[in-house]
């Protein structure tokens, strides 16, 4: 571990937050998982225990290593317990919610603590601008599942120093990731490039083409997952929110208009794998 960061507080005990926390603990960091919901914390702990047991069953780690990893993670619903070298949030995609969380945690952490948002597409600059120490706020966008996906987008704003960004890049490396530095632009890199993949597939579905046929064709063409399988994995609520955000930030170009199909499936609570049903049943 080359980074000066030794402890990480992950805010948000959902799928992404749990994955980030597990990835950090597996690479030797002391981790605090924070959430205001006790039930979410319980689910996060159980999920992490199951994920690590699966690795034991596959002979990828030993039972003793599993225990060491779990011992590195604590769970809390208290803001006062969220003291760490590095804080990363993976809460709902609402700028005001992220800003309020950071304000609370600025008060209990040292002046050296760096704060990162795992936002998929919101402006990191706008999140940071309203905070008392914008230079300490960066973007660090992981991809789902965070325990497996190597890519991390490190988003630099005009407030950040080169030293701060280098620190975050090194942290990503120490977590076993492959960081890519990017500017604070709508959708960053991946979500900007990927929009047409999802939206054009949804357009075809609107025209009556079977979703399973679209997925099968794209997978036979070499894509690891078809667009509908992938949206179900990511979470249809997350994917739809990103589509809306990128569309708005780019000035509402017609080619990126979010699909009514996706809006309806989210409204129906069919969020994908995490809810048991999305474009497919799980």
- Verify that 198 and 107 share a domain, yes or no: no
Is there a domain that residue 204 lies in? Answer: yes
Domain that holds residue 165: 7-183
29 close to 11: Cβ distance less than 8 angstroms: no
Q: What is the pTM of this model?
A: 0.92
Q: Mind listing the pLDDT tens digit for each residue in 232-271?
A: 999 999 999 999 999 999 999 999 999 999 999 999 999 9
**Residues that are catalytic:** 120, 141, 153, 191
Last residue of a domain, one of 155, 183, 211: 183
- Verify that 178 and 209 share a domain, yes or no: no
112 close to 87: Cβ distance less than 8 angstroms: no
Cα(27)–Cα(281) distance, integer angstroms: 34
Full strand arrangement of the beta sheet holding 7-11: 73-76, 30-34, 7-11, 86-89, 114-117, 137-142, 151-156, 178-183
pLDDT range class, residue 89, cuts 50, 70, 90: very high
Pairing of strands 86-89, 30-34: unpaired
Say what the pLDDT of residue 202 is: 98
16's CB contacts (< 8 A; 6+ apart) are: 90, 118, 142, 144, 146
Is there a domain that residue 214 lies in? Answer: yes
For a pLDDT cut of 70, what percent of the chain falls above it? 99
Cα(37)–Cα(125) distance, integer angstroms: 28
């Amino acid at each position: 571990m080359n980074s000066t960061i030794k402890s990480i507080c992950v805010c948000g005990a959902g799928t992404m937050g749990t994955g980030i926390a597990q990835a950090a603990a597996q690479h030797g960091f002391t981790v605090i998982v924070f959430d205001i919901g006790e039930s979410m914390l319980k689910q996060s702990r159980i999920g992490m225990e199951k994920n690590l047991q699966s690795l034991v069953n596959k002979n990828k780690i030993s039972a003793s290593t599993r225990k060491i990893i779990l011992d590195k993670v604590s769970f809390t619903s208290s803001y006062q317990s969220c003291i760490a070298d590095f804080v990363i949030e993976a809460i709902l995609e609402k700028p005001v919610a992220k800003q309020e969380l950071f304000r609370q945690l600025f008060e209990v952490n040292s002046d050296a603590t760096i704060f990162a948002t795992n936002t998929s597409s919101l402006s990191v600059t706008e999140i940071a601008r309203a905070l008392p120490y914008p230079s300490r706020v960066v973007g660090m966008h992981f991809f789902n599942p965070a325990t497996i996906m190597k890519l991390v987008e490190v988003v630099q704003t005009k407030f950040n120093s080169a030293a701060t960004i280098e620190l975050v890049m090194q942290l990503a490396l120490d977590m076993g990731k492959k960081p890519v530095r990017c500017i604070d632009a709508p959708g960053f890199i991946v979500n900007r490039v990927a929009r047409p993949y999802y939206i054009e597939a949804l357009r075809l579905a609107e025209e009556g083409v079977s979703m399973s046929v679209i997925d099968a064709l794209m997978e036979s063409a070499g894509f690891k997952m078809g667009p509908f399988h992938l949206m179900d994995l990511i979470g249809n609520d997350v994917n739809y929110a990103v589509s809306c955000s990128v569309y708005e930030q780019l000035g509402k170009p017609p080619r990126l208009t979010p699909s009514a199909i996706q809006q309806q499936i989210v409204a129906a609570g069919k969020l994908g794998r995490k809810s048991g049903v999305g474009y497919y049943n799980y």
